[in-house]
Amino acid sequence: MIDSGKLHYKTRKPYMKPDVIVDYTQNMRLVDKSDYMLSGIECVRKSTKWYQKIFFHLVDISMLNAYNAWLVSRCDPTKHKPFFREFVYEVVYQLLAKYGRVTSTQKGRKISTERPDRIQEAEYMSRHYPKYTETKPGTSRRYSVNCKVCALKEPTVRTRVSVICNECQVGLCIGDCWRNYHTKKNI
């Protein structure tokens, strides 16, 4: 038992706690902060199996570790540091630009050669990338727009996003909506 550093409000005697509890409370703050930072960009979905959840959580943790290592090695403390979400988008964009290519989503079916401009192979990677909407004047919040694919699926449900395609200038959810819009001829 060790002193917790707090006093009882009436008796003014120090609270005694087991050292395991004090150690857990002090070190748990870092885990809570990492969970908070990951909550905005998590890859995990409800429908995935347990082993897929573990894999995607490890991808998320490795991305957070890469962001922290990048901040320590490259970031100037006097300047504004980029947000974690912006770092992740930049990494994804660079990976898509280097290794990505458009493929058919159905097995055994070839993509038509008469594809719209938004789904051309080589040009797609260099021009169609996600970018944030403009920041509202006087605040740190960004303008939000409706997701085009979600609006076509369910016109009564409104899905607001702050990411748009740089070339198409339409709002899209990152993930399935982005992929469907840029790879399918008929959405």
Q: In this structure, is residue 130 part of a structural domain?
A: yes
Residue 91 lies in a domain: no
Q: Which residue(s) pair with 7 in the sheet?
A: 14
Report residue 73 as tokens.
């090695």
Give mean pLDDT, residues 25-48.
74
Query: How many domains, in total, are found in the chain?
Result: 1
Calculate the average pLDDT of the chain: 77
For residue 53, the tally of other CB atoms under 10 A from its CB is 15
The answer to whether the CB of 133 falls within 8 A of the CB of 162 is yes
Q: Quick one: pLDDT at residue 26?
A: 77
User: Which pLDDT score, from 0 to 100, does residue 180 have?
Assistant: 79
Domain that holds residue 139: 101-187
Does residue 2 fall inside a structural domain?
A: no
pLDDT score of 77 more than 60: yes
- Give yes or no for residue 143 having a pLDDT over 60: yes
Q: Is residue 125 part of a domain?
A: yes
Above 70 in pLDDT, residue 121?
Answer: no
pLDDT classification of 108: cutoffs 50, 70, 90: low
Asked if residue 11 has pLDDT above 80, the reply is yes
Residue 89 inside a domain? The answer is no
Residue 149 in any domain: the answer is yes
Q: Is 141 within the bounds of a domain?
A: yes
Is 112 part of any domain?
yes
